[in-house]
């Protein structure tokens, strides 16, 4: 079997020749994002909005709305589902004089699945890249490494761990490149998700469900029909002004969701200056869960017209989301309680395209096998 990472070998050879490499113990080791990346990104994309006090639906003015599940056999509303995945591995440190840079390789990808009329799921599109990351400015040969990786073919890419991208420098602030690598990989994964989602040719009336918060650059999606975002992890800081007598009352997220019944949604609030409607849906009963925020989805609906969204449409979307939770990957993911089954299948589609950690450790092992390079 040829080494699937052979495209990185010329660049890694330069690193080995130009600097002194301190390899990771046990070869490559996975780096994870801390804190939860999805929650951090949702907080960044929410921006400065700390109190959601404008309702963005009509005619409903109730804080909570009971729902009936909308099953596929009744109306097949949600057809396309898109998710991404990123895995980041620390290969070691390269040292040049008094300067150092961690070296990481990441596998990032996005997959969209389509559900046919009979309920079968098939892959509608997939993107996959292998990314080499390091602090390019920390060593004199960073530009050369970048050029070699970017010339290795479409599967491979180089990214500077310390380069600002509008999110990584906020989600993982500071000047330590190793702590930023996993966050950078997730940002690059989101770019692939964005490209794949906007490239899907979808018939009218078939909705696309994106996993996670909607892109910060919503304007790039204004020509894409019928899509929404669902987040399993979300910003916990906002407060909400609920409608009611005497001007209503302001509650925090915990109070809002603690009172949210099963198979119900909150009212829809305006976000991003009215260009997006946000509401929460409880897809699982609290009695089976450990925490009020479990079993809840945050739904983000683009509202480019900035007018009130029909409550009937919100109810229909929310009912379809409740129906999607019937099969759950219990034990496969710590967020199983808020998973939508088709989103889970999209995630598995991209993860199954990733090269295994065993092959990665064998293919990216110091000292490198650079014979013939």
In this structure, is residue 133 part of a structural domain? yes
The set of residues, in sequence order, having a beta carbon less than 8 Å from that of 279 and lying 6+ positions away, is: 265, 266, 267, 268, 269, 298, 299, 301, 314, 318
DSSP, collapsed to helix, strand or coil, labels residue 50 as coil
Both tokens of residue 11? 């660049």
Tell me, yes or no, whether 153 lies in a domain: yes
Q: Give the bridge partners for 20, in sequence order.
A: 95
Q: What is the CA radius of gyration of the chain?
A: 23
Show pLDDT as tens, one digit a residue, over the chain (373 residues): 678 888 999 999 999 888 888 887 556 767 665 555 666 666 666 665 678 889 999 999 999 999 999 998 889 999 999 999 999 999 999 999 988 999 999 999 999 999 999 889 999 999 999 999 999 999 999 999 999 999 999 999 999 999 888 777 766 666 677 788 888 999 999 999 999 999 998 887 899 999 988 887 787 888 889 999 999 888 888 899 998 766 678 999 999 998 899 999 999 999 988 999 999 999 988 776 666 778 899 999 999 999 999 999 999 999 999 998 765 555 565 666 667 889 988 988 998 989 988 888 888 877 665 544 4
Tell whether 329 is covered by a domain: yes
Assigned domain for 373 exists? no
The neighbouring-strand residues paired with 125 are: 112
Distance CA 368, CA 116 (A): 47
| Distance, CA of 224 to CA of 208 (rounded, Å) | 10
Number of residues in the chain: 373
Residue 320: domain span? 6-363
Residue 1 is assigned to a structural domain of this protein: no
d(Cα 183, Cα 39) in Å, to the nearest integer? Answer: 12
| DSSP assignment of 293-335 | TTTEEEEEEE-TT-SPEEHHHHHHHHHHHHHTTSS--TTT-TT
Nearest-angstrom CA–CA distance, 233 and 250: 22
Q: How many domains does the chain have?
A: 1
Determine the Cα angle at 326 with ends 321 and 328, to 5°: 105
Position 210 in a domain: yes
Q: Is 301 a member of any domain? A: yes
Residue 85 belongs to some domain of the structure: yes
For residue 88, give the 3-state DSSP assignment.
strand
Pairing outcome for strands 276-282 and 99-115: unpaired
Beta 99-115 vs 121-134: how paired, if at all? antiparallel
Give the E-state strand segments of 116-254 in sequence order.
121-134, 156-160, 207-211, 227-231, 239-242, 249-252
CB 92, CB 103: distance < 8 Å: yes
């Amino acid at each position: 079997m040829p080494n699937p990472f052979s495209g990185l070998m010329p660049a890694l050879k330069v690193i080995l020749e130009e600097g002194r490499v301190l390899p990771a113990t046990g070869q490559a080791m996975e780096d994870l994002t801390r804190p939860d990346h999805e929650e951090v990104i949702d907080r960044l994309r929410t921006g400065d909005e700390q109190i959601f006090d404008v309702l963005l639906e009509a005619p409903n003015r109730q804080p909570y709305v009971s729902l009936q599940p909308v099953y596929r056999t009744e109306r097949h509303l949600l057809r396309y589902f898109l998710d991404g995945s990123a895995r980041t591995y620390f290969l070691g440190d390269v040292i040049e004089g008094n300067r150092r840079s961690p070296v990481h390789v990441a596998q990032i990808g996005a997959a969209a699945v389509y559900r046919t009329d009979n309920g079968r799921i098939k892959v509608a599109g997939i993107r996959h890249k292998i990314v080499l990351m390091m602090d390019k400015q920390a060593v004199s040969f960073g530009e050369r490494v970048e050029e070699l990786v970017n010339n290795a073919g479409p599967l491979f890419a180089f990214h500077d761990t310390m380069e600002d991208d509008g999110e990584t420098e906020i989600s993982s602030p500071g000047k330590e490149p190793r702590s930023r690598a996993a966050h950078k990989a997730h940002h690059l994964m989101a770019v692939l998700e964005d490209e794949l989602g906007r490239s899907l040719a979808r018939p009218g009336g078939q909705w696309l469900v994106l996993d996670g918060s909607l892109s910060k650059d919503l304007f790039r999606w204004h020509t894409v029909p019928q899509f929404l975002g669902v987040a399993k992890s979300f910003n916990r800081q906002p407060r909400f002004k609920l409608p009611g007598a005497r001007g209503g009352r302001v509650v925090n997220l915990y109070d809002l969701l603690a009172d949210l019944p099963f198979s119900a949604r909150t009212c829809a609030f305006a976000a991003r200056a009215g260009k997006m409607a946000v509401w929460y849906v409880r897809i699982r009963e609290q009695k089976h869960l450990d925490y009020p925020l479990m079993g809840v989805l945050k739904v983000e609906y683009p509202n480019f017209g900035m007018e009130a969204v029909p409550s009937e449409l919100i109810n229909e979307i929310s009912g379809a989301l409740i129906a999607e939770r019937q099969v759950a990957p219990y034990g496969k993911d710590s967020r199983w309680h808020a998973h939508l089954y088709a989103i889970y299948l999209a995630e598995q589609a991209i993860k199954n395209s990733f090269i295994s950690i065993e092959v990665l450790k064998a293919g990216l092992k110091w000292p490198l096998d650079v014979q013939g390079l």
